[in-house]
Amino acid sequence: MPTLSDAPQHPIRVILVEDDEDVRLGAAQALELAGFAVQPFGSVEAARGAIEAGAPVVVVTDVQLPGQSGTGWLAELHRLDAQLPVILVTGHGDIAMAVQAMRDGAYDFIEKPFASERLVAVVRRAAEQRRLALEVQALRRELDDWSGIQATLIGRSAAMERVRQMVRTLAATPADVVIYGETGTGKDLVARCLHERSSRRGGHFVPVNCGGLPENLVDSELFGHEAGAFTGAVKRRIGKFEHADGGTLFLDEIESMPLAVQVKLLRALQERSIERVGSNQAVAVDCRVVAASKVDLREASDAGRFRADLYYRLGVAFIELPPLRERREDIPLLFEHFTLQAAKRYGQNAPVPDTQALSALLGHAWPGNVRELRNVADRFVLGLLGDNVAASLGGGAAGVSLPEHMEQIERTLLTESLRRQHGDVGQAARDLGIPKATLYDKLKRMGIDAAGFRREEG
């Protein structure tokens, strides 16, 4: 199956420094035939102005040069850009020096005389490393630049932008909200965003897992109790509803709430007041209710598993979260975000996934959605995935055909390029190595709006 490495990528230039004109010409021709853009120079002094920090380049330099040597330039280049791949070309007898240079940060060395195939192979590996490093840097800059809702509900896909827009719209209103989504899609994050962007953000955000409430203590958990209300009730307890007064009550997995408790919940929502267990006094409660469910509550009410009157009481506004398999273009950014978080948490360096790993991530079915992706990022940082990421994930994209898989990868490549080029279709076409008209056709077929990449608002 093709991987991301088979697709057109951002072009990496080769800065070639060699004072022997015949060697320089032969090396440049070999690299150009392999598809690289080459800038040849006869000395470090002539090449120095062609390189800047973050440039998409790989440096191939002879060690013995007039003026500054290649090894001397290596230290200078790494002060400029520590991740820049530098390949040293050495003469016979310089192996010890070359090995020391690799300890000092050189990517690799090639001994003269060398075959053109050897040169091309080493440069190709270095170029792939450089491309991945630059992409990771771009993702990290984007994550650093994001703030507010974009920094919490991460994703560039149209589906996630719709979710963010719904949150922006509903947060400013007092309407109760139902959030739909599979396990692991981030329903709790959306609920917190609704709270934090609302006028109630100064109050408590009170989460309640309806599926985890012990049946004999449900009333006490939700509504509180007075001292002596039952055996073991030695003092007054404030329930979740009352604790959320002035803030937001988040009822997670509300579909699992017992029908008998649903009756009491409905009454509390209608009257906006509760009675503590063991008390006859009504306590007014002013809280916003956000509920989350894995199932369609309307269908559950039709089947008799959920009270219809409670459904209609809650069902003022709805936010539906897409599963991760339906927004695969968000996977690289999310994975980078979780990798950085895990690296900080475990005190490790943040590793960079290669193209095979990215392809495996894009092709996986993700039954656990974003939560599963976060766990995979943790294992990646801890070095527990091994060399075969696809095998570590437990298989590929279940239920996804090869054409669907390839279209998902193509969509991700197109959106990544548009993001890098800030929505400039012409630049993106050159980035991808395809005609502009072809890119327009692909964008139209996939329903991708290039204008949406010109500026991303926080």
For the stretch 253-268, pLDDT in tens is 999 988 888 888 899 8
As a residue count, the chain comes to 458
What's the pLDDT score for residue 397? 46
Global confidence as pTM? 0.64
CA distance 354 to 128: 9
Q: Which CATH architecture has domain 4-144?
A: 3-Layer(aba) Sandwich (3.40)
229-259 burial, b for 16+ CB within 10 Å, e for fewer? beeeeeeebebbbbbbbebbbbbbbbbbbee
Superfamily of structural domain 158-321? P-loop containing nucleotide triphosphate hydrolases (3.40.50.300)
What's the pLDDT score for residue 278? 86
What's the pLDDT score for residue 9? 45
Decide whether 4-144 matches 158-321 in CATH topology. yes
CA distance 205 to 96: 63
For the segment 408-436, what is each residue's pLDDT rounded down to a tens digit?
777 877 887 887 788 888 888 888 888 88
Residue recorded with tokens 């091994």: 386
CA distance 328 to 451: 20
For the segment 154-165, what is each residue's pLDDT rounded down to a tens digit?
888 888 989 999
What's the pLDDT score for residue 92? 64
Phi, then psi, of 250 in degrees rounded to 5: -105, 110
Could you tell me how far CA 278 lies from the centroid of its own chain?
A: 49
What's the pLDDT score for residue 47? 92
Give yes or no for a contact between 335 and 143, defined as CB atoms under 8 angstroms apart: no
For the chain, domain boundaries:
4-144, 158-321, 325-453
Q: Which CATH architecture has domain 325-453?
A: Orthogonal Bundle (1.10)
To the nearest whole number, what is the mean pLDDT of the chain?
85
What's the pLDDT score for residue 140? 74
Identity of the residue numbered 267: R
Choose between 342 and 8: higher pLDDT.
342
Which residue spans within 78-119 are E strands per DSSP?
86-90, 108-111
Q: Which of 226-240, 259-273, 283-297, 330-344 has the lowest mean pLDDT?
A: 226-240
